[in-house]
Amino acid sequence: MTDIADRPELAPELRLVPHAFRRTFGRPAAGVWYAPGVLNLLGGAVKVPAKWGAIVAGDRRDDGRLELVSVNRPTERALLPSDDIPAWAAGVEAKGGAALMCSVDLPQGSGLSAAEALRTAVGLALHDLAGERFEEPRPEVLDLPGQRLLVVDTRIRRPEPQVEQPYVRGTDDLGAALTAYHHAQNPDPEQDAVVQAALAAGARGASLLIDPPGRPAVALVDADLVPAVKKAITKAVEIPPRYLTIVPALFNTVALR
């Protein structure tokens, strides 16, 4: 059987991680698993995937321990269970023996829940390697023709946790719900500046995003207004943000064996 790392029909990013696994562990990976970054709107009540996410490649370990190595930080290995876990692997649960090479192409705190994407990809790998079924999350289907979700990474990172306040959704209008959610929270000044600038520039709605340690935000924008909203936000803040534009779609994970 051809090693996944050597299959030219696969996307380069799906071959890169098993190639790194083979270089590190000296053997082919048994599989490759992908999970998208997730935009958690309204405190996670609505989940929207992005094309950026987490990829893991690996195979089983016979000792029942979970070994994680990062393509991005190869010197920071994690061997679970352990009390000494690098920050990039925080929250990953050891539920089976495996050696996994991990790649996450999202900065932590950027608004797309990089840690959640990694946890999902690792969970998919562990279930698959154990011959178990993995239950994928079932997102709300969004019908938003001609609209975009503009994710704004303010580049602000703070160690203090941002605590989510209770919120009850009172409307099916996503734009109005986002703005109402924002007003129910305690945004940092940078998040509030983004939201106010987006609304003033014509966004249908906007809110902060809870994605520690970052202070990101999101706006629901008509596709033709995206450039104007970006320009207004950039003008309203001191540090030029990073932007990701998402076309709402269904949640999708990938497993290759």
Cα within 13 Å of Cα(250), Cβ side: 6
Q: What pTM does this model have? A: 0.82
Contact 28, 57 (CB under 8 A): no
Choose from 65-69, 98-102, 217-221 the range with maximum mean pLDDT.
Answer: 217-221
Does 111 share its domain with 19? yes
Q: Per the structure, how many domains does the chain have? A: 2
Nearest-angstrom CA–CA distance, 159 and 138:
31
- Determine which helix (DSSP H) or strand (DSSP E) holds 68, and give its type and residue range: strand 66-70
> Which domain range does residue 227 map to?
147-246
CATH number at residue 220: 3.30.70.890
> Which residue, chain included where needed, has tokens 């609209």?
147
| Peptide linkage before 213 cis (omega within 30 of 0) | yes
pLDDT, position 138? 58
In a domain, 63, yes or no: yes
User: pLDDT, tens digit, for every residue of 6-39?
Assistant: 677 666 677 889 899 999 999 999 999 998 888 9
- Cβ-based burial of 171 (10 A; exposed 0-12, middle 13-18, buried ≥19): exposed
User: pLDDT, tens digit, for every residue of 102-159?
Assistant: 998 878 889 998 888 899 999 999 999 988 877 665 555 677 889 999 999 999 999 9
The average confidence (pLDDT) of the chain is 88
> Which residue, chain included where needed, has tokens 């991680």?
17
Choose from 50-54, 158-162, 227-231 the range with maximum mean pLDDT.
Answer: 227-231
Does 17 share its domain with 132? yes
pLDDT, position 205? 98
